[in-house]
C-alpha cells in the first residue's frame, strides 16, 4: 500500500521546504503539495529528513575474548528507535583467514537486521590471499571501504608495511582506506608501565591512550595514504591532535575525512575519575573520552566542515563482560553503545544549542557519509527515486535517556539521565513504519544489504606525491669506475 507523509517540512543537507512525500514499494515516488496515499502519516510540526546512517557499528563482534552484546536484530532496532535507518558494520577476518570467509559469517549474522546495512571489510593481516581477496570484495561483493587497526597490538593491529601495501592495492582498485588511528606500540608500552606501577583501574585506560598516540597515528596514516594515492577515512576522531592533521590534509587538497563519535562530543574524561569502577569501566573505549578543549575542537570541526560524519562505534558490552577487567584495565572489553541515542543527542547538543543548523545535522548524520560510501542518493536523500528511509522528526518531543527503556540488550546506558529534546515521531525503513511515537514495529529480517561500487575516478585526482616522485631516469656522465 502507498503511504503519504503529510504536512511536514522537508529538511535535507541543502534545502528546507514544506511538502508531502509519497512512498510506493519502499521508494519515494513523488514530492509535492496536497499528495494523497493509502496510508497517511501526519508530520504536522515535524521535519521530514533522510534517516540516519551510522557508518561505524560492531554488532555481535568477537573481541577481547567475548562478543559485543547487541546483534543485528537488537542493534538495528535500537538504531531505528532513534531515527537511524542504515548501519555499516565491520567484517573482521581472523589472522590468516580469507576476507571472503569472514564476510560469510557477517552475511549470516546480518539476516536478522531490521533496517538496511552494509559492511566495511577489515584488513587484519597481510598476504597474497588478502591482496587477491580485496579485488573480489570490491568487484563482486560491493564493498569499497577497508579498515586498518593501527592499535590492538598482538590482535588486530597491522604495521606500516602492511598499511602501505594495502593502501596501494586499494588505490589501484578504487577503494577507500579507513584507519583506527592510535599508535599501538606506544599504547602497549604505556599500558605495561601503568600496570607495573599498580595502576590497574579503568582510569588507566585513558592514561594509556593520550591524544598524542592518536595524533601521531593520524598523521602517519595520512602520509602513507598520500604516498599510496588512496582516500582516507579516519574513524572515531576524538581529539584536536588528530583533527588538526585531518584539517591540514584537507586544506592541502587530500581526500581525508574525520568521523567524531557522539560519545566524544558529549561525554568527557571526568567519566573515568571519582566514579565507581563499573561506571568508569562501562565507558572504557578506544580512543577514550577527552577533556573539554578536545570536545570544542570536534564541534568546531563539524561547524566548519573539517570533520564530516558523526557515528557511534556502537560496540556494547554488559557490566558483567566489562568486569573481566577487574584488576587489569587492559582486559576490560573496549567499546560503548550509542545507536539509539546518536540522533537525539546530536540534535539536543548540536541543533538546540545553535552549534549546527538542521541542514548540517542531516549532512553529518546521513548525507555526507552516503556520498563518501557511494550509496547516495539511494540513501541519505529525500528525492524521487531514493529509498524511503526517512525520519519524521519532532523537535518538541522530549525524553530522559535510560537503560530501562532502551532497545539495546545491555544493562546500562552511557548517556543515562541525559534529557534530550528532538526525537522521531516516525522512522521508516524502505517505506515500512518501524517506529511510531516510541512504539516499535520492527520486522526482523526486513533489512537488505546495500552494495557500494568502487570509485575509480576520484582516486585519480588524489595525490600529488606520485607525480612528483615518478622515476625520472637521468643521463649522467662522469660516473666513477667501481672499486676505485
Question: What residues line the site for Zn ion (CB under 5 A)?
Answer: 180, 313, 418
Going by C-beta distance under 8 Å and a sequence separation of 6 or more, which residues neighbour residue 386? 27, 28, 50, 377, 378, 379
- Tell me whether residue 272 or residue 426 sits nearer to Zn ion (CB atom): 272
- Tell me whether residue 148 or residue 180 sits nearer to ligand URP (CB atom): 180
- Tell me whether residue 69 or residue 427 sits nearer to ligand URP (CB atom): 69
How near is the Cβ of 180 to ligand URP at its closest, in Å? Answer: 5
Beta bridge partner(s), residue 52: 84
Which residue, 381, 365, 420, 361, is CA-closest to 87? 365
Q: What does the buried/exposed string (b/e) look like for 132-144 if buried means 16 or more CB atoms within 10 Å of the residue's CB?
A: ebbeebbeebbbb
| Distance (Å, whole) CA 403 – CA 422 | 18
Which residue, 32, 73, 20, 78, is CA-closest to 52? 78
Residue 334 binds which one of ligand URP, Zn ion, none, with CB within 5 to 8 A depending on kind?
Answer: ligand URP
- Tell me whether residue 337 or residue 380 sits nearer to ligand URP (CB atom): 337
DSSP state of 424: E
- Tell me whether residue 285 or residue 369 sits nearer to ligand URP (CB atom): 285
Q: What is the dihedral of CA 362, 367, 369, 373, to 10 degrees?
A: 170
How near is the Cβ of 236 to Zn ion at its closest, in Å? Answer: 6
Per-residue HEC secondary structure of 172-241 comes to: HHCCEEEEECCCHHHHHHHHHHHHHCCCCCCHHHHHCCCHHHHHHHHHHHHHHHHHHCCCEEECCCCCHH
What does the angle CA 376 – CA 255 – CA 94 come to, to the nearest 5 degrees? 80
| Distance (Å, whole) CA 32 – CA 23 | 12
Q: What does the buried/exposed string (b/e) look like for 411-422 if buried means 16 or more CB atoms within 10 Å of the residue's CB?
A: ebbbbeebebeb
How near is the Cβ of 148 to ligand URP at its closest, in Å? Answer: 11
- Tell me whether residue 13 or residue 315 sits nearer to ligand URP (CB atom): 315
Binding mask 4-43 for ligand URP (x = CB under 6 A): ----------------------------------------
| Distance (Å, whole) CA 222 – CA 332 | 30
Q: Is 421 helix (H, G, I), strand (E, B) or coil?
A: strand
CA-based torsion, 33, 38, 44, 48: positive or negative: negative
Should residue 209 be labelled a site residue for ligand URP when binding is judged by CB under 6 A?
no
How near is the Cβ of 416 to ligand URP at its closest, in Å? Answer: 19
Residue 250 binds which one of Zn ion, ligand URP, none, with CB within 5 to 8 A depending on kind?
Answer: none
- Tell me whether residue 60 or residue 313 sits nearer to ligand URP (CB atom): 313
- Closest-CB residue for ligand URP? 334
Largest Cα–Cα distance of the chain, in whole Å? Answer: 92
Outline where 407-461 has alpha helix (H): 456-460
- Tell me whether residue 34 or residue 95 sits nearer to ligand URP (CB atom): 95
Count of positions on this chain that bind ligand URP (CB under 6 A): 8
CB of 80 closer than 8 Å to CB of 342: no
| Distance (Å, whole) CA 58 – CA 236 | 13
Cα separations (Å) of 134 from 105, 124, 143, 224, 480?
17, 12, 9, 19, 46
How near is the Cβ of 464 to Zn ion at its closest, in Å? Answer: 29
Residue 231 binds which one of Zn ion, ligand URP, none, with CB within 5 to 8 A depending on kind?
Answer: none
Should residue 430 be labelled a site residue for ligand URP when binding is judged by CB under 6 A?
no
Other CB atoms within a 10 A radius of the CB of residue 292 amount to 10
Binding mask 180-199 for ligand URP (x = CB under 6 A): x-------------------
Footprint (CB under 6 A) of ligand URP, residues 36-75:
58
Cα separations (Å) of 154 from 149, 151, 377?
11, 9, 40
Residue 418 binds which one of Zn ion, ligand URP, none, with CB within 5 to 8 A depending on kind?
Answer: Zn ion
Residue 10 binds which one of ligand URP, Zn ion, none, with CB within 5 to 8 A depending on kind?
Answer: none
Judged by CB under 6 A, the residue of 315, 316, 343, 462 near ligand URP is 315
How near is the Cβ of 120 to ligand URP at its closest, in Å? Answer: 11
Judged by CB under 6 A, the residue of 116, 203, 313, 340 near ligand URP is 313
- Tell me whether residue 255 or residue 418 sits nearer to Zn ion (CB atom): 418
Residue 285 binds which one of ligand URP, Zn ion, none, with CB within 5 to 8 A depending on kind?
Answer: ligand URP
Should residue 314 be labelled a site residue for ligand URP when binding is judged by CB under 6 A?
no
Judged by CB under 6 A, the residue of 93, 174, 231, 335 near ligand URP is 335
How near is the Cβ of 266 to Zn ion at its closest, in Å? Answer: 6
Q: Which three cell numbers stand for residue 354?
A: 545553535
Should residue 285 be labelled a site residue for ligand URP when binding is judged by CB under 6 A?
yes
Should residue 334 be labelled a site residue for ligand URP when binding is judged by CB under 6 A?
yes
Interacting residues toward ligand URP by CB under 6 A: 58, 180, 285-286, 313, 315, 334-335
Amino acid at each position: 500500500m502507498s503511504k503519504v507523509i503529510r504536512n511536514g517540512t522537508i529538511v535535507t543537507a541543502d534545502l528546507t521546504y514544506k511538502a508531502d512525500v509519497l512512498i510506493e514499494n519502499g521508494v519515494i515516488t513523488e514530492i509535492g503539495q496536497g499528495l494523497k496515499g493509502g496510508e497517511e502519516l501526519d508530520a504536522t510540526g515535524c521535519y521530514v529528513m533522510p534517516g540516519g546512517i551510522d557508518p561505524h557499528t560492531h554488532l555481535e563482534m568477537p573481541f577481547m575474548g567475548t562478543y559485543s552484546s547487541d546483534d543485528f536484530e537488537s542493534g538495528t532496532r535500537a538504531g531505528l528507535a532513534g531515527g537511524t535507518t542504515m548501519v555499516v558494520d565491520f567484517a573482521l577476518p581472523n589472522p590468516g583467514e580469507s576476507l571472503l570467509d569472514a564476510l560469510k559469517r557477517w552475511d549470516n549474522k546480518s539476516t536478522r537486521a531490521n533496517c538496511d546495512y552494509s559492511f566495511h571489510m577489515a584488513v587484519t593481516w597481510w598476504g597474497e590471499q588478502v591482496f587477491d581477496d580485496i579485488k573480489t570484495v570490491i568487484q563482486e561483493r560491493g564493498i569499497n571501504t577497508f579498515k586498518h587497526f593501527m592499535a590492538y597490538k598482538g590482535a588486530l593491529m597491522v604495521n606500516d608495511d602492511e598499511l602501505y601495501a594495502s593502501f596501494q592495492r586499494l588505490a589501484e582498485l578504487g577503494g577507500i582506506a579507513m584507519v583506527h588511528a592510535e599508535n599501538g606500540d606506544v599504547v602497549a608500552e604505556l599500558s605495561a608501565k601503568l600496570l607495573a606501577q599498580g595502576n590497574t583501574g579503568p582510569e588507566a585506560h585513558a592514561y594509556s591512550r593520550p591524544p598524542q598516540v592518536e595524533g601521531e597515528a593520524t598523521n602517519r596514516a595520512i602520509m602513507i595514504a598520500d604516498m599510496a594515492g588512496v582516500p582516507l577515512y579516519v574513524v572515531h576522531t576524538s581529539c584536536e591532535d588528530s583533527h588538526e592533521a585531518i584539517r591540514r590534509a584537507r586544506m592541502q587538497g587530500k581526500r581525508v575525512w574525520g568521523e567524531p563519535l557522539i560519545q566524544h562530543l558529549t561525554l568527557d574524561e571526568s567519566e573515568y575519575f571519582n566514579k565507581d569502577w563499573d561506571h568508569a569501566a562501562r565507558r572504557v573505549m578506544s580512543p577514550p573520552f577527552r577533556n573539554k578543549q578536545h570536545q570544542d575542537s570536534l564541534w568546531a570541526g563539524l561547524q566548519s566542515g573539517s570533520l564530516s560524519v558523526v557515528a557511534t562505534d556502537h560496540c556494547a558490552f554488559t557490566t558483567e563482560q566489562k568486569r573481566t577487567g577487574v584488576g587489569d584495565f587492559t582486559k576490560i572489553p573496549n567499546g560503548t553503545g550509542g545507536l539509539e541515542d546518536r540522533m537525539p543527542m546530536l540534535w539536543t547538543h548540536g541543533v538546540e544549542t545553535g552549534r549546527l543548523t538542521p541542514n548540517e545535522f542531516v549532512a553529518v548524520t546521513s548525507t555526507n557519509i552516503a556520498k563518501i560510501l557511494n550509496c547516495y542518493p539511494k540513501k541519505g536523500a529525500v528525492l524521487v527515486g531514493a529509498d524511503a528511509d526517512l525520519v519524521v522528526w519532532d523537535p518538541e518531543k522530549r525524553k530522559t535517556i535510560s537503560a530501562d527503556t532502551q532497545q539495546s540488550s545491555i544493562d546500562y546506558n552511557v548517556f543515562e539521565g541525559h534529557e534530550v529534546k528532538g526525537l522521531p515521531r516516525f522512522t521508516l525503513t524502505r517505506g515500512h513504519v518501524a517506529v511510531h511515537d516510541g512504539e516499535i514495529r520492527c520486522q526482523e529480517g526486513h533489512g537488505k544489504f546495500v552494495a557500494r561500487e568502487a570509485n575509480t575516478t576520484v582516486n585519480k585526482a588524489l595525490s600529488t606525491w606520485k607525480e612528483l616522485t615518478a622515476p625520472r631516469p637521468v643521463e649522467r656522465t662522469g660516473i666513477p669506475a667501481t672499486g676505485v
